Amino acid sequence: MLNWSWVERGIGSFVMVAAGGSSNGRWRPFVTLAVTALAGLALAVALVVSSRSGCLTLPWCREKRRHPLTRKEWNNFFSRDGKLRGGGIKFLAKVRSGGVDPSVRAEVWPFLLGVYVQITAYDHLTVWCSYDMNSSRAERDAIREQRRKAYEKLRRQCHQSADGDDKRSSTDETESSDSQSSTGEPTMANPAAVDLATWQRIIRLDAIRADAEWIPYSPPQAAVREAEALRLASAVGFTDYGDMEPCRVYHAARLVAVLEAYALHDPEIGYCQGMSDLLSPILAVMEEDDEAFWCFVGFMKRARHNFRHDQAGIQRQLQVVSKLIKLHDADLYQHLEKLQAEDCAFAFRMVLVALRRELTFGQTLCLWEVMWADQAAVRAGYRGRRTRSAPPTDDLLLYVIAACVLQRRKAIMERFNSVAEIQKEFNNIAGQLDIWKLLDDAQGMVAALHDKIE
Amino acid sequence: MASRRRMLLKVIILGDSGVGKTSLMNQYVNKKFSNQYKATIGADFLTKEVQIDDRLFTLQIWDTAGQERFQSLGVAFYRGADCCVLVYDVNVMKSFDNLNNWREEFLLQASPSDPENFPFIVLGNKIDIDGGNSRVVSEKKAKAWCASKGNIPYFETSAKEGLNVEAAFQCIAMNALKNEPEEDIYLPDTIDVAGGGRQLQRSSGCEC
Ligand SMILES: Nc1nc2c(ncn2[C@@H]2O[C@H](COP(=O)(O)OP(=O)(O)O)[C@@H](O)[C@H]2O)c(=O)[nH]1
Ligand SMILES: [Mg+2]
Q: Is B112 in the pocket of ligand 1 (CB under 6 A)?
A: no
Are A293 and A167 members of one domain?
yes
Q: Higher model confidence: residue A121 or residue A172?
A: A121
Question: Alpha helix (H) ranges present in A163-272?
Answer: 196-209, 219-222, 226-235, 246-265
Put simply, whether A277 touches B (Cβ < 8 Å) is: yes
pLDDT digits 0-9 by tens, A323-352: 999 999 999 999 999 999 999 999 999 999
Domain count, chain A: 3
Mutate to test the pocket of ligand 1, among B23, B33, B40, B88 (most ligand atoms within 8 A of CB): B23
Quote the pTM value.
0.82
* Closest CB from B35, B43, B68 relative to A188: B68
Q: What percent of chain B has pLDDT over 70?
A: 81
Which CATH number goes with the domain that contains A385? Answer: 1.10.472.80
On chain A, the residues whose CB falls within 8 A of the CB of B66 are 273
pLDDT (0 to 100) of residue B77: 80
Shortest CA distance from A428: residue in chain B? B44
The verdict on residue A88 lying in a domain is no
Are A341 and A282 members of one domain?
no
Q: What's the CA gap between A277 and A264, in Å, rounded? A: 19
Closest-approaching ligand to the CA atom of A206: 1
On chain B, the residues whose CB falls within 8 A of the CB of A201 are 18, 92
Is-contact A191 A182, C-beta < 8 A?
A: yes
Last residue of a domain, one of A248, A272, A307: A307
On chain A, the residues whose CB falls within 8 A of the CB of B82 are none
Atom 6 of ligand 1, nearest CA residue: B20
On chain B, the residues whose CB falls within 8 A of the CB of A424 are 45
Put simply, whether A202 touches B (Cβ < 8 Å) is: yes
Q: Is the pLDDT of residue A218 over 70?
A: yes
DSSP summary character for residue A56: E
Q: What percent of chain A has pLDDT over 90?
A: 63
Q: Determine the distance in angstroms separating the CA of B134 from the nearest CA of chain A, rounded to an integer.
A: 14
Last residue of a domain, one of A291, A307, A323: A307
pLDDT (0 to 100) of residue A451: 87
Strand pairing class (A41-49; A30-38): antiparallel
Closest-approaching ligand to the CA atom of B87: 1
Are A316 and A447 members of one domain?
yes
Are A349 and A303 members of one domain?
no
Are A408 and A395 members of one domain?
yes
With an 8 Å Cβ cutoff, are A314 and B94 in contact?
no
Mean pLDDT of A127-141: 79
- Complex-level ipTM: 0.83
Task: Using the atom order of ligand 1, give the atom closest to the CA of residue B37.
Answer: 16
Q: What's the CA gap between A381 and A392, in Å, rounded? A: 9
H/E/C letters for each residue in chain B? CCCCCCEEEEEEEEECCCCCHHHHHHHHHHCCCCCCCCCCCCEEEEEEEEEECCEEEEEEEEEECCCHHHHHHHHHHHCCCCEEEEEEECCCHHHHHCHHHHHHHHHHHHCCCCHHHCCEEEEEECCCHHHHCCCCCCHHHHHHHHHHCCCCCEEECECCCCECHHHHHHHHHHHHHHHCCHHHCCCCCCHHHHHHHHHHHHHHCCCC
The verdict on residue A62 lying in a domain is no
Mean pLDDT of A24-49: 35
The verdict on residue A75 lying in a domain is no
The verdict on residue A131 lying in a domain is no
Q: Is the pLDDT of residue A31 over 90?
A: no
pLDDT digits 0-9 by tens, B116-140: 999 999 999 999 999 999 999 999 9
Put simply, whether A186 touches B (Cβ < 8 Å) is: yes
With an 8 Å Cβ cutoff, are A277 and B41 in contact?
yes
Shortest CA distance from A191: residue in chain B? B69
Residues of B with CB under 8 A from a CB of A: 17-18, 35-45, 60, 65-73, 76-77, 79, 92, 94, 98, 101, 104-105, 108
pLDDT (0 to 100) of residue A353: 96
Are A354 and A261 members of one domain?
no
Q: What's the CA gap between A453 and A451, in Å, rounded? A: 5
Ligand 2 mean position to B90 CA, how many Å? 17
Are A276 and A338 members of one domain?
no
Are A36 and A171 members of one domain?
no
Are A400 and A266 members of one domain?
no
pLDDT band at A3 (very low <50, low <70, confident <90, very high): very low
Task: Using the atom order of ligand 1, give the atom closest to the CA of residue B163.
Answer: 27
On chain B, the residues whose CB falls within 8 A of the CB of A340 are 76, 79
pLDDT digits 0-9 by tens, A385-417: 555 678 999 999 999 999 999 999 999 999 999
Mean pLDDT of A166-183: 39
The verdict on residue A47 lying in a domain is yes
Q: B150: left (phi > 0), else alpha (psi -120 to 50), else beta? A: left
Q: Is the pLDDT of residue A185 over 80?
A: no
Q: Which amino acid is at B53?
A: D
Last residue of a domain, one of A307, A341, A375: A307
Shortest CA distance from A347: residue in chain B? B42
Mean pLDDT of A311-325: 94
Task: Using the atom order of ligand 1, give the atom closest to the CA of residue B161.
Answer: 27
CATH number for the domain running over B3-178:
3.40.50.300
Most confident by average pLDDT, A198-207, A320-329, B60-69: A320-329
Are A321 and A293 members of one domain?
no
- What's the distance, CA B28 to chain centroid? 11
CB hemisphere CA count around A88 (13 angstroms): 27
Q: Higher model confidence: residue A180 or residue A432?
A: A432
Put simply, whether A357 touches B (Cβ < 8 Å) is: yes
* Closest CB from A205, A419, A427 relative to B18: A205
Put simply, whether A242 touches B (Cβ < 8 Å) is: yes
pLDDT band at A126 (very low <50, low <70, confident <90, very high): low
Burial of residue A317 (number of CB atoms within 10 Å: 0-12, 13-18, 19+): buried
Question: How many of the other CB atoms lie within 10 Å of CB of A173?
Answer: 13
pLDDT band at B179 (very low <50, low <70, confident <90, very high): confident
The verdict on residue A58 lying in a domain is no
Atom 28 of ligand 1, nearest CA residue: B126
pLDDT band at B73 (very low <50, low <70, confident <90, very high): low
Domain span at A441 = 312-453
The verdict on residue A123 lying in a domain is no
Q: Is the pLDDT of residue B72 over 80?
A: no
Put simply, whether A16 touches B (Cβ < 8 Å) is: no
The verdict on residue A93 lying in a domain is no
